[in-house]
Amino acid sequence: MQSLKDMLGSGMPIFAVNLGGACAPLAPYLARSGAVMFIDCERTPVSISDVPALVSAAHAAGGYVMLRTESAAPAILTRYLDCGIDALVVPQVESAAACSEIVGTARDQAAGIPKAAIIVQIESTAGVAAAQDIAQAPGVDAVLLGPNDLAISMGFAGQPGHPQVQAAVTGLAAILREAAMIFGLPVTTDSVRDWALHGASLFYIPGGDLIATALTSYNEATDGH
């Protein structure tokens, strides 16, 4: 089976679905649809003790696991990498030096070349300022943009659609595309095509949004009756 790291590097579309919790029984459904299980240890109750079972369920179904850690501390990263995840997502990365430390930790854990893809998140004004350097950081496989946290950092809490926030995100996309860095961001059915045309290939989808979209489609199919 092709590694998620190689799939990311090829630029093929990757859809990562955050189910919002420890939902191992849903792993086969994600795998059959070609989606990646996004385990969120930063924003959900999922803990390190839940991760091995989730990874096993995903891999048994022929799927992949992308995990967002709550910290860039080497000891934390190593624990998750030891669980056999396919991609590690590190939030709030604000410098090339931070990227180097993350990649170094992954390399040490793998005793050489990291097997897991390394994905860093730019989601603050400091991260935006360092985007050129982050885009060229050796060993980083992809960058995931975080419009919601960026909006907070820019003083527009709860307004990821604010024109200034959107301008910053569009600018980041241009920088990453110019540097030939794989990148992605949260999308909806309305925005995914436009972002694909802007060069994005990693698409983050909250599970709640996925369910709401599906239920809306069912409702529309019955004309609301």
Q: Domain containing 97 — which CATH number?
A: 3.20.20.60
Question: What pLDDT, on a 0 to 100 scale, did the predictor assign at position 223?
Answer: 78
Instruction: Give tens-digit pLDDT for 120-130.
Output: 999 999 999 99
* 186 token code pair: 């949260």
- Mean pLDDT score across all residues of the chain: 96
- Distance separating alpha carbons of residues 182 and 87, to the nearest angstrom: 14
DSSP helix/strand/coil, 143: strand
Instruction: Give tens-digit pLDDT for 20-59.
Output: 999 999 999 999 999 999 999 999 999 999 999 999 999 9
Cβ-Cβ contacts under 8 Å for 131 (sequence gap 6 or more): 122, 172, 175, 176
Domains in the chain, number: 1
Q: Which domain holds residue 57?
A: 4-221
Q: 86 pLDDT band (50/70/90 cuts)?
A: very high
Pairing of strands 87-90, 65-68: parallel
